[in-house]
Each structure stands twice: as structure tokens, then as C-alpha cells.
Amino acid sequence: MSGVSGAGTLRISRPWPLLLMVLAFAAGAVLSLENLSLILPVSRWWQTFLSTPGQDIRHIMVFDGWLPRLAISVLCGAVLGLAGTLFQQVLKNPLAEPMTLGVSAGAQLALTLFTLWAPAVMLYHPQWAALGGALAAAFIVLALSRPRQYEPSAVSVAGLVVTLFCGSVIMALQLLYTPYLHSLFIWGGGSLLQQDWRNVAVLGLQFLAGMCFAFLLLRPLTVLALGDGHSGSLGLGSGTIRIAGFTLAVALSAGVVSAVGVIGFVGLSAPALARLAGARRLRQRLIAAPLCGALVLWLTDQTVQRFSAMTGDIPTGAATALFGAPLMLLLLARFQPAASGVEPPYAGASLQRPGDPGIYRRFAALVLLLALAMALSLDFGRTPGGWHFTALHALPQVSLWRVPRAVAAMASGTMLAVAGVLIQRLTGNSLASPELLGVSAGAALGLVALLLYQGDALPILRLSVSTLGALAALLAILSFARLTRFSPQRILLAGIAVSALLQAVVAVVVAGGGDRAAALIAWLAGSTYSIGPAEARNALLLCLLLCLATPCCHRWLTILPLGEMTSTALGVATPKARLAVLGLIALLTAAATLVVGPVSFIGLTAPHFARLMGARRPTHQLLLAPPLGALMLVAADWLGRTLLMPRELPAGLVATLLGAPYLMWLLMRRR
């Protein structure tokens, strides 16, 4: 197998991919027959197929349940394979697909909103609702990545941000409207359960129409691959064709989401498998990719059904990410991103002279502001009678539950901010953070797995398992980044893949965990509701110990961004120094994740605000970022607790809803 060129073209001359697909088809057929036999004994197949519809319960189970699910898995795979091919052709990005572009998340958010406030639309026209959300998300991603000329890394990061933002809004709505959206969590993971043939008929028509339109655009899309300059010289309006192809792909993706929920990574894997099978021309890929997508999703769903008999129903869409994310890592290992010409943000700033001497005055002002925010969060609140300060005689009573939450939020915000500074300095990437690189998701995965099997685990065991998960995610990311000497683009893309993989595993674990898993959903959103004095004390102690260890990394943080050769020449043992910083990042992230969940954007925004306030050197950034992170999370916890009183939003969720728009603005400004 040859490598992937800069344009993402894969050249294959070996027959093993076709043999692998034949074996996959055989495995899918065997699994399908076995799953059918679990519903209907083999001895009754002939009798049931000849019986009159509606007279036998097994006939209903097979013909209105199992067969529609089989058909919808094949159709959804084919549609996603076609959509992924169109996305990759239009954007010239081999990593583009509905999930990485935020299209699926936008469609899911639109369906959630219409379910709550316009259920009639969901009853009669769910496809149009999904299409509107998908188009809005897709064009936001394009607008965010336009300053970087739609580079694969820029598009992927923009898609991840939009996905996280839409997911946060969906999670907030699920927490606020639990009685109405109780089953949305499982459906959002991509459940292929069917009760009739309606979705099969609708999606089948959409697929046929999509294939017809795709072949009508075949020649313009083929010319478009030559570049805007060549296509323009041939009289082709590249902008119009690009919008037409992109809109068609979005419409196909929205149709799948409206039918079965979010199915991840099939749109990525199907075109890649088509190239491996020898489909090099666009015409060949338009035929081969839907076939590969149908095969992938059919095999995955039959495997899920086989294991669901023992573990309970698992969303098929979450299961596809278990192999789709590793495939993205494989493609990433062989795909060479185009040079962006952007200097790493810390390369020139690391050895600068000390910055503004007023940095310590700003630190003192931030500490005072943090103290004021802590006081307000403890004393100022909202009741059915309105906003007011708590009376002095009632303050001891309310402090019993307000103080632990505020202290835990302050400690977690501080640790995430420090972890963000360390990871940005280590990677030389201003968009790196524990949330975007999958470190928080790794810590969450370890903790979720532990709590599902041992709910009364000791705090030290929880911290140890979370730290191992965070460290494993970091090492997986950096092992891929090492192939290109820690390229910022490679680190971001690897982090996106690892984050998607770990979040999919978390979704599968939660979906199969029963009542205990349902209780974890609020924690995954970053809730401090159950924090008590013991948890707050532990969080504060960990924060103090870990933050006191960060000054030991000052010299490494100053020298490591200059590059491995320069660091070695200056006497730094690069592997040991990098491993020590990674271990500290993992501990900080794991300790914070125990309190506020896996996503909050504090680790990204706090270092940026510190730089905006004049912090250029590592020591100055480590001085300003912690109080900023603590201030943001304390404010988020107070807002989530008071704005919708008596309802409540988790602090991590509020921080994500506030931080994602800032990150979008940051992406718009990046050159």
C-alpha cells in the first residue's frame, strides 16, 4: 500500500482490500442469519414467511422490526458513503465527513428543538427540520475555516467546535426537559431500531435522488479537483459547483440523522475503503463508496445486535466510532497536511524578555476579582421572590451547600487553566487544550468504566484510574504527532480522532449501564451538584499540590517549544522532560474532570485571556491563567445555579456554552 499524497490520493495495487471486503460480507451474512435465528427458530422460517401478516407475533417481529432494521442499516451506510465522497471531493479533504464537519450535530440539535417546541413538524416533516439544522452548522463550519482556505486541520477543528457546542445545547435541553427527552440520549447515539418500513421508503428515495444528482455533477466535480484556477480557465463556476455538491452532501446527511440519529465515521471510512479497493476516479468512488458504507454499517449493526442480546441495546452509531476513529488515525498517519506557513505561537515568545512589569498588579486584581466572585456566589442568589443578598442569620445554612461547590469549581478551574497552559506550551499550539485533544475524554472514560463496575470506589482509586485514562489519551495523541515532529496540525487532528473514539466508548458504556449510567449523564455535563465538603477539600488539596509543582517545569516550558534539536543542544533531556510535563497535565486534567466532567473549554480560554493581558513568558502565563480559569468556572457554576432557578445547569456545560462562541471567534481571526 502506498502513502497518501498531499492531495489525499491513495494508490493501491494489492488485492487484499477486496478479499477483506468479501470476508466482511460473509461475516455479515453469518451474523444476520444468527440474529434472525434468535428471533425466529430456523425450523419455523418457511412457515412464518408464508403466514398471513398480522396473525403471528414472530411474523410481526421479523417483518416490521428485524427486516426494516436490516434495510435501514444498508441504506444509511450507502447514503453516508455517498455524502462522505461528496464532502471529500468538494473540500479536497480526505478527513471530511458528516460528523467531523458538525453536520450531524446541527441536524440533531434542530430535531431536538423542534421536538420540544414544534412537535407537529417532527410528526410530518422531520427531514426538513434536520436539513435546516445541518445546513446552518455546515455553513458555520465553512465560515470558521475560510480564513485558513479550508485546510483539513482548520475544517476539522471548526467541525469539532460546532459539534461540541451543539452537543452542549442538546445536553442542556436533556437536563431541563428530561421527561420529554428521556430516550433522546440513546437515539442520538444512532439507534437503528425500526417499527415499520416508513423510514426505509423515505431514505431509499433520498438515496436514489442523491445518486442521480451526484452523477449530474460528476463532470463539474471532476474538473473542480484540478483547482479553482484550472476549472475557471475551462469556464466552470467553481463556487457554484462547490456549493451545489456541498448542499447535496448536507441534505443526504440530514436525511440519515432524521431517520436514525447520528452515525459517526461511516462517511469517513467508506470513501477510504473505496480507494483501497481501487476506486480512484470519482465515478468509481460514487459507486464503490456507498457499497462500502452499506457493508460497514450492516456488519456493525449485526455485530451490535449479537452483543446486545447479552449487554442490552447499544447505539449502533456509537459503535461505528470504535473502528472509525482508529481509521481516522490511520489516515492521519499517512496523510501529510499542507504547510500552513504559520509559525507556532510560542516559538518566538519563549525567550522574550520579561513582559509588562504590571503583570503582578494584574494578578492581584484577578485575585481580588475572584474573591469578589466567590463572595457573590455564596451570598447573592435568586429565589421565587427575586434576586437578593442572603441575610446574615441564614448565611451559615446556605453556606453548607454553596461553599463546597464554589471551592470545587475554583480548584477545578485553576487546574484546567494550568493544564491548558502546559499543553499549549508543550505542543506549541494555541488551540490545544485538554478538551480538544481528548485528554478530558480519556479521564472521563476511565472514571465512567470504574463507576459502572464499582460505584463505591475510593477517591484515590478514582483519581488513579482517571489519571491513567488521561495519560493514555495523551500518549496516543503524541505518538501520532511524533511522526511529524509534533506538528501543531497533526496534534489537533489526532486529538480530534482520539476524543471522538473515547466519547464513543463512553456513550456505549453509558448506554449499556442501566440506572447507574443514567445518573452519570449529569456528571458528564460537568455538574457540581453532588459536591460535598470532603470532595471540595480533596479538590482544593490536589489543586495546591499540583500547582506548586508547575514552577519546576518553567525551564522546560521555555525551551521545549524551540524544537527537539535546540532543546537537546541546550542540555534538556527532551523525552524525560516531555514525559514529566505529560504526567503533570494528566494529573491536573484527571483531578479537574472528577469534579466538573470532561468538557468546559476552561483549559483553552484561560491561557488565551492570560496572553491578551500581556502574559508572554511561561511564568507570567502560569501566574494569570489560574485565577482566570477559577473565575470563569466559579461564575459558570453561579450562573448555572441561579439563572433558571429552580432548575439548574451544570457548571461545565455553562462554561462550554460560553467558551465555544469565543473559540469560534478565535478561529475566524486565525490566519
651 Cβ partners below 8 Å, 6+ apart? 409, 526, 527, 528, 596, 600, 633, 636, 637, 640
List own/partner pairs for 545-549 with CB under 8 A and 24 or more apart: 546/415, 546/418, 546/584, 546/587, 546/588, 546/591, 547/414, 547/415, 547/418, 547/626, 549/584
pLDDT exceeds cutoff 70 at 1: no
* Residue 567 parent element (H or E): helix 564-569
pLDDT class for 268, splitting at 50, 70, 90?
confident
pLDDT at residue 70, rounded to an integer: 95
133 Cβ partners below 8 Å, 6+ apart? 106, 107, 108, 109, 110, 111, 113, 254
CB-facing half-sphere around the CA of 318: CA atoms within 13 A: 20
pLDDT class for 359, splitting at 50, 70, 90?
confident
When pLDDT is averaged across residues 35-57 and rounded to a whole number, the result is: 74
- Give me the amino acid identity at 237: G
Share of the chain above pLDDT 90, in %: 25
**Distance spanning both ends of the chain, measured CA to CA:** 35
As a whole number of angstroms, the distance between CA 556 and CA 578 comes to: 8
Which carries the bigger pLDDT value, residue 170 or residue 29? Answer: 29
pLDDT at residue 336, rounded to an integer: 54
Coil, helix or strand at residue 17: helix
Coil, helix or strand at residue 308: helix
Region label for 14, one of left (φ > 0), alpha (ψ between -120 and 50) or beta (otherwise): beta
pLDDT at residue 341, rounded to an integer: 38
**Most confident segment among 101-110, 283-292, 310-319, 331-340:** 283-292
Taking Cα atoms as reference points, which of 642, 627, 633 lies closest to residue 370? 627
Which carries the bigger pLDDT value, residue 47 or residue 446? Answer: 446
pLDDT at residue 4, rounded to an integer: 39
154 Cβ partners below 8 Å, 6+ apart? 144, 145, 147, 148, 667, 670
**Most confident segment among 212-221, 259-268, 434-443:** 212-221
Q: What DSSP string describes 343-398?
A: PPTTTTTTTPPP--TTHHHHHHHHHHHHHHHHHHHHHEEEETTEEEEPPTTTHHHH
**Most confident segment among 87-91, 110-114, 213-217:** 213-217
pLDDT class for 509, splitting at 50, 70, 90?
low
Report the DSSP pairing between strands 380-383 and 386-389.
antiparallel
As a whole number of angstroms, the distance between CA 75 and CA 68 comes to: 10
Query: Contact at 8 Å (CB) between 419 and 603?
Result: yes
When pLDDT is averaged across residues 155-174 and rounded to a whole number, the result is: 83
* Residue 171 parent element (H or E): helix 152-176
Q: In b/e form, how buried is each residue of 75-96, taking b as 16+ CB within 10 angstroms?
A: bbbbbbbbbbbbbbbbbbbbbb
pLDDT at residue 75, rounded to an integer: 96
Residue range 455-494, pLDDT digits in tens: 667 777 877 888 888 888 877 777 776 665 556 566 666 7
When pLDDT is averaged across residues 11-32 and rounded to a whole number, the result is: 79
Cell 492581584: give the residue: 364
DSSP label of 65: I
pLDDT class for 2, splitting at 50, 70, 90?
very low
pLDDT at residue 497, rounded to an integer: 72
Residue range 629-642, pLDDT digits in tens: 999 999 999 998 88
User: Judging by beta carbons within 10 Å of its beta carbon (0-12, 13-18, 19+), is residue 559 exposed, middle or buried?
Assistant: buried
Residue range 381-419, pLDDT digits in tens: 777 777 778 777 777 777 888 899 999 999 999 999 999
pLDDT at residue 22, rounded to an integer: 87
Ramachandran angles phi, psi of 355, nearest 5°: -80, -150
Coil, helix or strand at residue 4: strand
As a whole number of angstroms, the distance between CA 366 and CA 406 comes to: 17
Taking Cα atoms as reference points, which of 100, 247, 116, 98 lies closest to residue 169? 116
Cell 498531499: give the residue: 6
Region label for 486, one of left (φ > 0), alpha (ψ between -120 and 50) or beta (otherwise): left
DSSP label of 339: P
Q: Cell numbers of 123, please? A: 410528526
pLDDT exceeds cutoff 50 at 354: no
Query: Contact at 8 Å (CB) between 1 and 20?
Result: no
Which carries the bigger pLDDT value, residue 1 or residue 143? Answer: 143
Which carries the bigger pLDDT value, residue 10 or residue 211? Answer: 211
As a whole number of angstroms, the distance between CA 374 and CA 352 comes to: 35
pLDDT exceeds cutoff 70 at 344: no
As a whole number of angstroms, the distance between CA 474 and CA 434 comes to: 9
Mean pLDDT of the chain: 80
pLDDT at residue 5, rounded to an integer: 39
Query: Contact at 8 Å (CB) between 610 and 632?
Result: no
Share of the chain above pLDDT 70, in %: 80
- Give me the amino acid identity at 480: F
Strand partners, 10: 4
Within 10 Å of residue 237's Cβ, how many Cβ atoms? Answer: 13
Cell 451559615: give the residue: 396
pLDDT at residue 419, rounded to an integer: 92
pLDDT exceeds cutoff 90 at 306: no
Which carries the bigger pLDDT value, residue 297 or residue 264? Answer: 297
Query: Which range is least confidently modeled, 199-203, 389-393, 509-513, 608-612?
Result: 509-513
Coil, helix or strand at residue 305: helix
pLDDT exceeds cutoff 60 at 6: no
Which carries the bigger pLDDT value, residue 518 or residue 620? Answer: 620
Which carries the bigger pLDDT value, residue 475 or residue 540? Answer: 540
When pLDDT is averaged across residues 155-177 and rounded to a whole number, the result is: 83
Q: What DSSP string describes 586-644?
A: HHHHHHHHHHH-S--SHHHHHHHHHHHTT--SHHHHHHHHHHHHHHHHHHHHHHHHHTT
- Give me the amino acid identity at 421: V
pLDDT at residue 438, rounded to an integer: 78
Strand partners, 4: 10
pLDDT at residue 201, rounded to an integer: 95
User: Judging by beta carbons within 10 Å of its beta carbon (0-12, 13-18, 19+), is residue 123 exposed, middle or buried?
Assistant: exposed
DSSP label of 62: I
Which carries the bigger pLDDT value, residue 338 or residue 458? Answer: 458
User: Judging by beta carbons within 10 Å of its beta carbon (0-12, 13-18, 19+), is residue 51 exposed, middle or buried?
Assistant: middle
When pLDDT is averaged across residues 225-251 and rounded to a whole number, the result is: 76
User: Which domains does the chain carry?
Assistant: 16-334 (1.10.3470.10), 404-669 (1.10.3470.10)
